[in-house]
């Protein structure tokens, strides 16, 4: 048998009906797509259901002479409560070696980030406000602060758009809301 390009194709006998291998590959691919869309857990007996929560952060940031103040409130839009979560705040400029006292539940992570725990978040609940002041190296005229959830207590968050924020903060002392 010749193909249109002129190269000879060899037929391999497998003992299966013609086209059976392609059908099996399509069924396998469809199964992978279904598992991928369902979050990797198949439904049925023995499947473990993951809690689902929609976390978001609202607040304000200021920059004055190399010091940034960030005040934020975590919010859980549900449908499940979250026992605890961790928000990461990352600055586009390096943090100074000497820092003001970080609030309880917050810890520096590398040269440009701070991690803070949110505490428990009820369904449609607002968490406790996190007030954070950090000193940057030098005195930049602007800084970008990125916020995102790095841990949500094992809950699945299908809407990752509202728990990721990027805020441009100018050295004016003005409040930039997010």
Over residues 10-40, the pLDDT tens digits come to: 444 445 555 555 444 443 333 333 333 334 4
Averaged pLDDT for residues 130-140: 97
End-to-end CA distance of the chain: 66
Nearest Cα neighbor of 59 from 169, 172, 159 is 169
Look at residue 30 and give its three-state secondary structure: helix
Say if strands 86-91 and 142-151 run parallel, antiparallel, or are unpaired: antiparallel
Tens digit of pLDDT for each residue in 92-105? Answer: 999 999 999 999 99
Q: What is the pLDDT of residue 45?
A: 54
Predicted TM-score of the model (pTM): 0.72
Per-position b or e across 161-175, b if 16+ CB within 10 A of its CB: eebebebebebeeee
Pairwise CA distance, residues 176 & 142, whole Å? 12
> Does residue 119 have a pLDDT over 60?
yes
Rounded to the nearest integer, the mean pLDDT of the chain is 82
CB burial of residue 69 (10 Å; 0-12, 13-18, 19+) = middle
Averaged pLDDT for residues 127-143: 97
CB atoms closer than 10 angstroms to residue 132: 19
Nearest Cα neighbor of 154 from 86, 58, 77 is 86
Pairwise CA distance, residues 75 & 54, whole Å? 8
Under a CB-based contact definition with an 8 Å cutoff, are residues 152 and 47 in contact? no
Residue 131 dihedral angles phi and psi, to the nearest 5°: -110, 120
């Amino acid at each position: 048998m010749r193909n249109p390009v002129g190269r000879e194709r060899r037929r391999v006998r497998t003992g299966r009906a013609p086209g059976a291998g392609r059908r099996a590959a399509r069924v396998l691919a469809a199964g992978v797509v279904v598992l991928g869309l369902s979050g990797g857990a198949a439904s049925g007996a023995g499947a473990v259901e993951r809690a689902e929560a929609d976390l978001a952060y609202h607040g304000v940031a200021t920059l004055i002479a190399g010091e940034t103040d960030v005040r934020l409130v975590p919010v859980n839009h549900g449908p499940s409560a979250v026992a605890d979560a961790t928000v990461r705040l990352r600055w586009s400029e390096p943090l100074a070696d000497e820092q003001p006292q970080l609030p309880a539940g917050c810890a520096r992570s590398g040269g440009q980030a701070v991690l803070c725990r949110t505490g428990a978040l009820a369904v449609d609940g607002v968490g406790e406000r996190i007030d954070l002041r950090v000193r940057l190296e030098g005195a930049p005229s602007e800084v970008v602060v990125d916020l995102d959830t790095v841990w949500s207590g094992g809950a699945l968050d299908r809407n990752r758009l509202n728990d990721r924020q990027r805020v441009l903060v100018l050295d004016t002392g003005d409040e930039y809301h997010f």
